[in-house]
Chains A and B, each alone.
Chain A
């Protein structure tokens, strides 16, 4: 693994001051991203996955927000710390070196401007080219992401496009300045499966064809299995497990990961009598349990759990497969098997 690093996020910490107290949305999160790889950040709503990536672009800056840690964008012109950077510096990076695709293609385009103008505006903001040239490039981009008759459609308004087509326009816009890092926040959640497959194909082309690094934020493990190289599982503001795709899917270490893997409805296996669910709900970000955050929902809780488990390599000290669970790897291997060939989390309270 000697690929060129693009991003190094080190102990990123984000909290918001609210009337209800301090909400600690992201709790000392570290990860990195290299060229040509897809890092999937997986977690449920409220796990802090979107806040983490939006902070990289300065999109969470607000008077009530408090930040900690650092996030370096590695680039030839000198590294930039995205957490501490001035707004003016971020503005040059945003859309140019780091681009983002948002979840909802219905609300992330401006409804009163033609889609072509929105792409052209983005190109002109970052590069010193003539408008006619920018327009030609916009047509080329739309064509590449699979918008039919791009030359005619460039004058259309967003409402004249379907959801899938709008998401393509978003991708075209994200690609317009040839970014090194693409952040895709639930890029296909609002789309039908057939359209989802088409969009994922485009993201894969970007990774392979242009050697960009992609951060994929999602809760859909099917999409992850399809696209990701590495995974970081977030729960309640923290990364609870991180490793390669195969490590996390076939040798998951954290009980929350077992629960996630167990609760997906699978088409490729015989259907079970009942779906294994994780009991309870995630804790409120304003008042978290002491120690392991997953403790109240975990059937395997024991006396060590009120102590904070660090994110460490526990299976093999040299590998990058890290997790936050005090159980020994052998115990984990035994406990995660709900049936001999199915990983999951048994119901809390049930005796194994």
Chain B
């Protein structure tokens, strides 16, 4: 499951769930249903590691990231940060933990207060956590670190371009020297040439400070570039988790394969040669997800068993996990050596995929 290093992982998430209740009723709020945004997710993130989290909109990737930070209350399951269980810790107990995990948001135009100067924005976390010794000096140092000039501290956010604002967001996240940064679509609002600048900056910062990243994105080509491992989510569940390169060369779950096939290749000749599988339909409603494998209504390989039994996360070589009854790109030997992963959802069946 883990990347294979001996030390305890920084983040351990076990069978985590987050449901959004749907309320109805005039006087008394009755819960009439649940949106299964995150439904029994288990994974680990090591110190200094980058885990990419991908999936279509509405698959629960942002909810998962926010639940790990305890910005949303988990419905069930445990979250351990640095070995401590924080899934039900009080707000007071969480304060020191909050310092160690920070967030960078998608929209650099909405995530900075337009009425505050950049210096105040980056200095705010320092003041909140009582580190108000030399705030000005620390802010100037951070600005330089993210590729801006120290004198930018006295300017307002509207004076900056999108890429520069995202740098300000990164500087704010770095202020308290965190161990984990959750990056929620950090480059999807930026132009391509600027995207590359921000990704390179994040790369450098990780090398210098040993940060762990949880990188949430829908763009699989960006995720491949930054991640050590990648988790693919579909309708609240992790359906595949693999070392970054292996996910692209050897996707096991048909959904991952379809996602990869949908990405246009920026090379006209290769594009003409390629045979495209266009996945029809859209993700089903997470209020009432399909039985068995949640992907079965859209899956080209689905059979009767897929609608009946939820496939367990099966562990193949190299710590490659996939939840599928009819896996792609696996040899008979690999299939024979596969085991049921303890990260499987509790509701999953026990039967491993059989050679066909």
Contact = CB atoms under 8 A, between A and B. Distances in A.
Contacts, number: 122
A223 B192 CA distance: 13
Nearest to A276: B196
A302 to B, nearest CB: 22
B224 A271 contact: yes
A64 to B, nearest CB: 20
A69 interface: no
B268 A275 contact: no
A153 to B, nearest CB: 13
B57 A265 contact: no
A267 B220 contact: yes
Interface in B160-199: 161-164, 191-197, 199
Contacts of A156: none
Given A193-B259, A266-B221, A278 B193 contact: yes
Contacts of A197: 262, 264, 276, 278-279
A259 interface: yes
B280 interface: yes
A140 to B, nearest CB: 20
A268 B270 contact: yes
Contact of A265 (B56, B222, B279, B282): B222
Interface in A240-282: 245-246, 249-250, 259-261, 263-268, 271, 274-279, 281
Nearest to A195: B282
A221 B270 contact: no
A192 B57 contact: yes
Given A265-B222, A268-B270, A194 B264 contact: no
Contact of B191 (A44, A200, A271, A274): A44
B25 interface: no
B268 A267 contact: no
A219 B221 contact: no
B259 A194 contact: yes
B300 to A, nearest CB: 13
A225 B262 contact: no
A281 B164 CA distance: 9
Contacts of A277: 193-194, 196-197, 200
B264 A225 contact: yes
A276 B193 CA distance: 8
B34 interface: no
B276 A275 contact: no
Given A198-B278, A261-B266, A267 B221 contact: yes
B163 to A, nearest CB: 7
B22 interface: no
A133 interface: no
B330 interface: no
Contacts of A246: 268-269
B284 to A, nearest CB: 11
A223 B264 contact: yes
Contact of A219 (B162, B191, B279): B191
B74 to A, nearest CB: 26
Contact of A275 (B162, B225, B262, B280): B225
Nearest to A249: B268
Nearest to A265: B221
Contact of A274 (B56, B200, B276): B200
B203 interface: yes
A60 interface: no
B282 A162 contact: yes
Interface string A140-166: 000000000000000000000011110
Contacts of B299: none
B258 A274 contact: no
Contacts of B263: 193, 222, 267
Contacts of B203: 274
A285 to B, nearest CB: 12
B40 to A, nearest CB: 23
Contacts of A219: 191-192
A201 interface: yes
B212 to A, nearest CB: 20
11 contacts: A45-B162, A192-B218, A193-B262, A194-B278, A196-B262, A224-B266, A264-B221, A267-B248, A271-B225, A274-B200, A277-B197
Closest 9 CB pairs of A and B: A222-B264, A277-B196, A275-B196, A278-B193, A265-B221, A44-B191, A263-B196, A193-B262, A221-B266
Given A225-B268, A226-B264, 19 more contacts: A44-B191, A193-B262, A197-B279, A221-B192, A222-B263, A222-B264, A225-B265, A225-B267, A225-B271, A249-B268, A259-B193, A264-B192, A265-B195, A265-B225, A266-B221, A267-B263, A268-B270, A278-B193, A281-B194
Interface of B: 56-57, 161-164, 191-197, 199-200, 203, 218-222, 224-225, 245, 248, 258-260, 262-271, 276, 278-280, 282
Interface of A: 44-45, 162-165, 192-198, 200-201, 219-226, 245-246, 249-250, 259-261, 263-268, 271, 274-279, 281
